[in-house]
Each structure stands twice: as structure tokens, then as C-alpha cells.
Structure 1
Amino acid sequence: MIRGGPTAHKISAFWKKLRQTHQLLVLALPACIFVFVFNYIPLYGLIVAFKNYNYRDGILHSPWNGFENFKFIFTSSDAWVMTRNTLLYNVAFILSTLIVSVTLALLLNQVSKKFIKFHQTALFFPYFISFVIVSYVCLAFLDMNHGYLNTILSWFGKEPVLWYNEPHYWPYILMSVNLWKNAGYYAIIYYTAIISIDSEYFEAAEIDGANIWQQVWSITLPLLKPLMILLVLLQVSRIFFGNFDLFYNVTMNSTLLYPTTDIIDTFVFRALRINGDIGMASAAGFYQSFVGLIIILLTNFVIRRVSKENALF
């Protein structure tokens, strides 16, 4: 081996770089270990989706059954309904959350600094509330006999509505609950990005005579665009996953609401609870993750073709 050759130079540069960044690496180490332990080590469990799993033989020794576990998902009479609901709800959630959260962030930017902490807390607070509590808050509004909405309807001489028996109302109810729960969280993220924009842009626009709306369209939104694309892509990656807590707890698991509230996650949960078929549940999870991966790759490909600098990778 020749001393001072290209290989020795690369090794020396590597150790020099490591010494310069070792503090940052130590800070990142706990997160890396967490991701490795809980996201990568369990990947060997994917083989359960292709096995006739039983507790006696365990994961490794249970007999293979190929794609039999996937047939349950695709041949079920409810397969189309739950897939349609999962996709449409997630598309509606992504678009409505994007529009409302960006609007809230823009409004926050106009709030007096004296009241900004109050507004931030008020928007952020619902994100931390358990969906079990949220479900009972909804029940307080939607209960047939004592709910606030039916009480208000009675003031106008209207008949009470059996909210938990009427599936056609629930797309709007679930969208409202999702917005109340999550829009504030994303609004704070967008607001943080807005206040980080160099104020010289806005000062120059004011000198040129631009009003507040022209500044929003010409400066704020274009500079928010990369962050908006990033957050939407992250949500698109889970477009085949539904929020189980939202669809199970808020609806009180009412069987009459299944036509408009049943999604892949709640369907698989009930099947697992009734049949105890872990292989089928694993196949559903694998199917959701694989399709989600394909969708995010296609979405990122389209974004890269339109605007390369805004692509995620």
C-alpha cells in the first residue's frame, strides 16, 4: 500500500469531518437508534403476510401460503367501499387541511404580537386532545336526546336527527373534526415559515405600492410553496392509511355508518378481532405501505417534472 495515496487521503478526510461534526452526530444518535429499533428491525415481520401464521410455530416456522392472505382483502364484498372511503377521505383531509392551515397561518401573521401566544395556544391545543375525549365532545353535540344540535333544532320546531344512524352526514362531520384537530398544528408550522421570511421583501413591496393581498400572492405563498409540497408529500405517503381513532371512536363504531365511515384500518381491526387472523392483518398493512410507497414515488416524479427544485428527492 502506498503511503499518502488516494485511499489514505479519503480516510483522513473522513476522520477530520467526523471530528468536526461528532457533537451533532451524538445529538442525532438517540433518534437514529429509535428509528432503527422500531422501524427497521421489525421489517422481518413482513413475512407474516405470506404465511399461515399460528402461535405454536411462530413467525419463522409457520407454513407459507403465498398470496392467500391478500385474497381476503380483494375478494371481500366490502373491499371496494373501504378502499374508496380511505382514498376519498384522505384526499379531502389533505386538501382541506392545506387550505385552512395556510389561511390560518396568514391570519396569524396579521395578529398583534401581544395576542399571538394566545392564538397559537388556542390553535395548537386540539392537536393534543385524545380522540376518546373528542368522541365524547362530538357525542355531546350529536346525541339524539340531549345533544346540542338537536336542542337547537327543537327551538325551530324541527325533528331531532339520529346522527349516529344517518351515514350521509358523516363525511362532513369527520372533515370538520379532522380540521379542528389538525389544522392548527399545520398552521403553526406554516406560520413559523412565514415569520422566517426576510422582511426586506415586504418592505420593498410596500415601497412599490403592493397591498397586503398582493404581498401574500407574490411573496408569501411562493416562498411557502416548498414547505407546502413537502408536507403534502408526507401526507400522500400515508394516503392508504386512515386515522383509526377518528373513524372508530368518533363514530362510536356505529354499524349503520359503515357505508360512509368504514376504512381499511377499521375493517381489518374488526376482522382481526373476530377471526384472529394475524396473517390477514399483516397482509393489509403490507398492501397499504406498498401502495403508499408507489403513490409517493409517482407524486414526487410528477413534481420533479414540473418543478425539480421542489421535489422531495
Structure 2
Amino acid sequence: MDKSLAIQTNDIRVKQKRKSASFMDEIRKNSLLYLMMLPGIAVIFIFAYLPMGGIVIAFQDFNPAKGITGSEFVGLKNFRFFIESKDTLHVIFNTLLLNVLFIGFGTIVSVAIAIMFSEINGKGFKKLNQTLVTLPNFLSWTVVALFVVPLLSTESGMVNKLLGTLGIEPIPFFSEPEYWPFILVMLKIWHGAGFGSIIYLATIAGINPDIYESASIDGASRWDKIRFITLPLLKTTVILLLLLALGGIFYGDFGMIYAIVGRNVSLYPTTDVIDTYVFRALFDLGDISMAAAVGFFQSVVGFILVVTVNQITRKLSPDSALF
């Protein structure tokens, strides 16, 4: 009995040594690749994991002078304050509505751009257009606001001048909130859809060309190949990216909204999201604890959504699930 136990223990040790040796061999073999990973790992650790220590602030009446250890513990008071606020349902609805529009239309346009580029034969023309559609992603929202605000001006804006030539009365965009979901969606697509198409384009590039050749021999048109080959093979990538996007569905695009809309109270009915609400609570009231509580709430709800939708996806399409 003791002999067999000793043999089993020895086997386990040998296997562990082999695993550690193979892992070290892997690192030595691909040392440059692992070295390239270090900046990304450092950024994630510093900006994603280290701040988790501040979660405790969400359960305190935080006082910067006293610090985390000296501030009073108040339990769920900060969460109750946010949930019971008269603006809560309004900002949650706006956040969800805008994000659903951003994700939905952004995905459709990104896929369409990727398919269009895959169908273009001229390399020079393709590269030029790829550059043009991805360039906006590298502009900050502050820069974008510098030309969007004058563009939508009531008196001198290009949009209202164009409407005037068509015999339509000028629209005071910055005092009419109903237009802004459409405006923000258009800006979001213009800013990010081109860059978002890169992943889909890479997926299309990985499709075996023999499949398209076989379809051509069978008499399939270009549209048939897109419909019955390209789109079905893009399904897994689309679902994976949608799952990842769901994790941030409770986060409004603060940079875009604050840069373009700012503190225009007239537009709050359709543009006030959770993040802008928290910004006002933090800088107008100085309520750090409530801001931390809302941030924690957003993270937890996003995590639950990703896990739930992933479980449903795994049952319907196992290859498309994240885990």
C-alpha cells in the first residue's frame, strides 16, 4: 500500500516537473512575444486590478481627510441613495437605449464595411479607403466637438443652411433633445465603425478561398457568396464581440457625451446617462462614495449580463460562447 502511494506521489511530481519545464521552454522559445505582452499586462494590472481596492469606498461615507481606514462604514446606504433617486430610472434607460443603438448599428455598419473591403480588388484603392474610415477613431471627442458644435449651430451651421436651401425651417439642435439619440449614434458609427471592421475583415481573410471558388463553379453570384458563405462564417465573431460589448452596456460613453453635449440641461432628457449623472454627483456634490457605489453597480450588472448571455449562447451555439 505504501509502495503504491509512493509511486503515485512520485508520478505526480514527475508530471509537475515536466509541466513546469515545458512552460519554461515555452517562455524561452517565445520570449519576445511574452516581452511584448508585459506593457499590456502592466496597464491592465494598474488600471483594472489595483483600483479594486477602492471598492470599499462604495460602502463608506468616505472622507478624504480620514482615508479608507478612518471613514465611517455605512453599508448599502450609497446604493440606496442612487436607486431611490428620481433620476435613476431615467439615466439607466438613456444608458441602455444609447448603448443598444451603438452596439446594434455599430455592428451592422462594421460588418458591412468589412464585406465591402473584402470585395475590393485594387490594393491601392482599398488601403486608401481603409485609412479614411479608420482615421476618425484616432481623433479625440474634444476635437470632434470642435467641428460638430459649429456644424449644428442654429444660425450658421452647415446642416441648417442645407435645410434652408430645401425650404425647411432651421432646427435648434442644442435645445431639442429628441434629435440627439440619432446624432450621437451617427457620430459613434462615424468614429468607431471603421476601426471595428478590422476584426471582421481579418475573419473574412481567414476564410478558405476554395469555398468561394467552389461556389463560383456552382454558379453562385457575389451576393450569394456573401449571404451563404461570408455572413454565416462571421457569426461566431459577431456573437463573441457582442458578448464582450454587453459587459459595458451600463457604461455610457462619457467622453463623447460630455465633449459634445456638455452641461446643456435642455438635452438631458435623451443624453443624460449614468456616467454623466455620477460626474455631477462627484464634482457638484463631492460625493465620492456614491460615485464609487454606482461604478460598482455598473460592473456587477455588466458581469451578470455577460455570464447569463454566455450561458444562453453556449446552449444555442457552443462554438460562439466566451467560456
TM-score (norm 1): 0.95
The residue aligned with 1:55 is 64
The residue aligned with 1:142 is 152
Which whole-Å deviations, capped at 9, do the CAs of 1:44-84 have from their partners, x for residues lacking one? 11000000000121012211001111122111111111000
The residue aligned with 1:171 is 181
- Any gaps of 5 or more consecutive residues in structure 2? none
Matched, 1:12 2:21: no
After TM superposition, list the pairs within 5 Å mapping 1:1-313 onto structure 2: 5-22=10-27, 23=31, 24-111=33-120, 112-313=122-323
Which whole-Å deviations, capped at 9, do the CAs of 1:203-239 have from their partners, x for residues lacking one? 1111111111111122111211111111111111100
Indicate the larger mover: 183-192 or 278-287: 183-192
- 8 Å Cα contact 1:120-1:188 kept in structure 2: no
* C-alpha separation in 2, matches of 1:95 and 1:7: 50
* Cα RMSD after superposing both structures: 1.6
Deviation at 1:2, TM superposition (A): 5.2
Runs of 4+ in 1 over 4 A off after TM superposition: 1-4
* C-alpha separation in 1, matches of 2:203 and 2:164: 46
Residue aligned with 2:123, SS = coil
- 8 Å Cα contact 1:90-1:239 kept in structure 2: yes
* C-alpha separation in 2, matches of 1:145 and 1:192: 45
Indicate the larger mover: 151-160 or 240-249: 151-160
* C-alpha separation in 2, matches of 1:289 and 1:98: 23
* C-alpha separation in 1, matches of 2:160 and 2:292: 42
Which whole-Å deviations, capped at 9, do the CAs of 1:164-206 have from their partners, x for residues lacking one? 0000111111111011011101112211221121111111111
Residue aligned with 2:257, SS = helix
* C-alpha separation in 2, matches of 1:173 and 1:28: 38
- Any gaps of 5 or more consecutive residues in structure 1? none
Which whole-Å deviations, capped at 9, do the CAs of 1:8-46 have from their partners, x for residues lacking one? 212321232123211244443343333223222221110
* C-alpha separation in 2, matches of 1:268 and 1:44: 20
What count of residue pairs does the alignment treat as equivalent? 313
TM-score (norm 2): 0.93
In structure 1, give the amino acid aligned to 2:240.
Answer: L
* C-alpha separation in 2, matches of 1:180 and 1:235: 18
* C-alpha separation in 2, matches of 1:15 and 1:236: 37
* C-alpha separation in 2, matches of 1:137 and 1:88: 25
The percent identity for this pair of structures is: 39
Residue aligned with 1:77, SS = coil
Indicate the larger mover: 207-216 or 256-265: 207-216
* C-alpha separation in 2, matches of 1:98 and 1:258: 26
Indicate the larger mover: 210-219 or 90-99: 210-219
